[in-house]
Amino acid sequence: MSTKPILAASLVAFALCLASQASAKSITLPPDSAQLKPSSLEGYAKAQSNCVACHSAEYMLYQPPTAPRPYWDAMVKRMKAVFKAPIDDADMPAIVDYLAKTYGNEQPK
């Protein structure tokens, strides 16, 4: 019981050591899940100004990739209704479009 955290910690240290050796030759950054995925859709900029003020973009990543458009629509409305997110109603369709195509079931295969 008491040795497990130590074992876990040393495994993490070992993994970090391997990772730093790997990056000594070529620098490959892991996908930064704290940022919204860049996109040419107009909703990307709107989501950046409306959706990551209170929490990181990781929240989008933890949603099911099979989530259909109405799911994202409800999510955006819920953010506004429940958490008082200052989202302009006019920006919602673009944001929902971006979310469905970037994190939901309309992602390019």
Q: Which residues are near ligand HEC by CB under 6 A? A: 47, 50-51, 53-55, 59-60, 63, 75-76, 79, 83-85, 87, 95, 99
Tokens of 104: 């939901």
- In sequence order, what are the residues at sequence separation of 6 or more whose Cβ sits closer than 8 angstroms to the Cβ of residue 13? none
Q: Identify the H or E element spanning 71.
A: helix 69-83
| CB of 18 or CB of 55, closer to ligand HEC | 55
| CB of 27 or CB of 82, closer to ligand HEC | 82
| CB of 13 or CB of 74, closer to ligand HEC | 74
